Amino acid sequence: MLDVALLMANSSQLKTVLYVGPRYRFYIPLIVLLSLSICLQVAVGLLLVFIVSNTHETPKLNRMNNVATVFVFFTVLINIFITYKYNIKTFRCIRNSLPLEAALTYFNSMIMSRFYTA
């Protein structure tokens, strides 16, 4: 469940960064780091599904387990850098020139409307 929460947080952060646009000073580094983090999380999930579905103890599965562990380590490292660079107080709704509170309310309403539309 923690992986799903991290995946959802990264996708939400990526959506916000893409919405704010290239005027944000960490635009390119955050897009690269968030995309890399999401790709590593998907790769770890696929590796773990394959490892669990195979019940034979083989050196190949041990290597895959080691690769999954390294991917998790790099995912944690990348998310530390993302947390450092992704500071919501620095975001402004540049397109609409809204204050921070209005921008956060708008982003929350956009996210909630995705979940509650029929």
For 106-115, letters b (16+ CB in 10 Å) and e give ebeeeeeeee
β-bridge partners, 93: 98
The pLDDT assigned to 28 comes to 87
Domain that holds residue 61: 2-116
Query: Is the pTM above the cut of 0.75?
Result: no
Tokens of 11: 């996708």
As for how many domains the chain has, the answer is: 1
Angle at 60 between CA 55 and CA 61, to 5 degrees: 40
Those residues whose C-beta lies under 8 Å from the C-beta of residue 20, and which sit 6 or more positions away, are 27, 91, 92, 93, 94
- C-alpha span between 21 and 9 (Å, rounded): 18
DSSP assigned state of 88: G
The pLDDT assigned to 94 comes to 45
45 touches 3 (CB < 8 A): yes
pLDDT by residue for the chain (118 residues), tens only, comes to 567 888 888 888 888 888 888 877 778 888 999 999 999 999 998 888 888 888 777 888 888 888 988 999 999 888 888 877 766 544 544 444 555 555 566 655 655 555 444 4
